[in-house]
């Protein structure tokens, strides 16, 4: 079954996003930072979409997505940033790394649910 990996150092955000997705019938995995996210993605081929924060300890979200494309060589998984960052420069870096979409926090599940479903279909 296709899964979404939620990567955020905040348990509040993880609970909120994962809870919303589960309630809407989507299978979810969670990771607490970029390093954990890389490991979870590598271990689970069922993950079709990664929703990641940027500002996290150990490894930030943009470094994680760069490593997903380069070190893991995974160009298939969809990558979406869920972050408080909204500067054009930061988005450019995300685009260059292969990020497919950008959500400025706070998370509003109803606004993005259909797009998420398409990405894991």
Partner 1 sequence: MNAVTPLVHSDKPVSKVLVLHEGRKHAAAIKAFCAANDLVPHKVRSDALLPFLAANIDLGGILLADDYGGSPSAAWRTARAIRTLRPELPIFLRRGPDFRVDDVPADLRHAFCAIYAADDMGVLRQAVSDYIFSLVYPNALVRGISEISEAILAERFSDWHVRWDTPFVVHDRVIFGEVLSLIQLESAWCRGYMMLQAEEAALLSLPVEGASNDGSDFRGGNSLLSELTNLIWGSFKNRFIGTAVASPAHQVQVPLIVNLDHRYMSFGTRDPQLCFRYTLTRADGERRVTLLQRFVFNINWLPEQFRELTQAEIGTADAGALELF
Residues of the shown chain interacting with partner 1 in the complex, contacts defined by CB under 8 A = 10-13, 15-20, 23, 55, 80, 83-89, 91, 94-95, 99-108, 111-112, 115
Rg of the Cα atoms in the chain: 13
Hey, which residues does 78 pair with through a beta bridge? 49
From the CB of 119, what's the least distance to partner 1, in Å? 10
From the CB of 83, what's the least distance to partner 1, in Å? 7
Q: Which is nearer to partner 1, 15 or 44 (CB)?
A: 15
Q: Which is nearer to partner 1, 43 or 121 (CB)?
A: 121
| Residues whose CB is less than 8 angstroms from the CB of residue 109 and which lie 6 or more positions away in sequence, other chains included | 17, 20, 21, 24
Instruction: Compute the distance between CA of residue 67 and CA of residue 54 in angstroms, rounded to an integer.
Output: 14
Q: Which is nearer to partner 1, 42 or 86 (CB)?
A: 86
- Coil, strand or helix at 102: strand
From the CB of 18, what's the least distance to partner 1, in Å? 7
Instruction: Compute the distance between CA of residue 85 and CA of residue 23 in angstroms, rounded to an integer.
Output: 27
Q: Which is nearer to partner 1, 43 or 110 (CB)?
A: 110
What are residue 25's phi and psi, to 5 degrees? 80, 20
From the CB of 73, what's the least distance to partner 1, in Å? 21
């Amino acid at each position: 079954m296709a899964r979404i990996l939620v990567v955020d150092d905040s348990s509040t955000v993880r609970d909120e996003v994962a809870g919303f997705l589960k309630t809407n019938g989507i299978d979810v995995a969670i990771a607490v930072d970029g390093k954990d996210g890389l490991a979870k993605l590598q271990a689970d081929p069922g993950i079709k979409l990664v929703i990641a924060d940027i500002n996290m300890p150990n490894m930030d979200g943009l470094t994680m997505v760069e490593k997903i494309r380069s070190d893991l060589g995974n160009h298939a998984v969809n990558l979406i940033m869920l972050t408080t960052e909204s500067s054009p420069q930061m988005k450019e870096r995300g685009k260059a790394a292969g990020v497919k979409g950008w959500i400025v926090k706070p998370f509003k599940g109803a606004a993005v649910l259909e797009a998420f479903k398409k990405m894991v279909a």
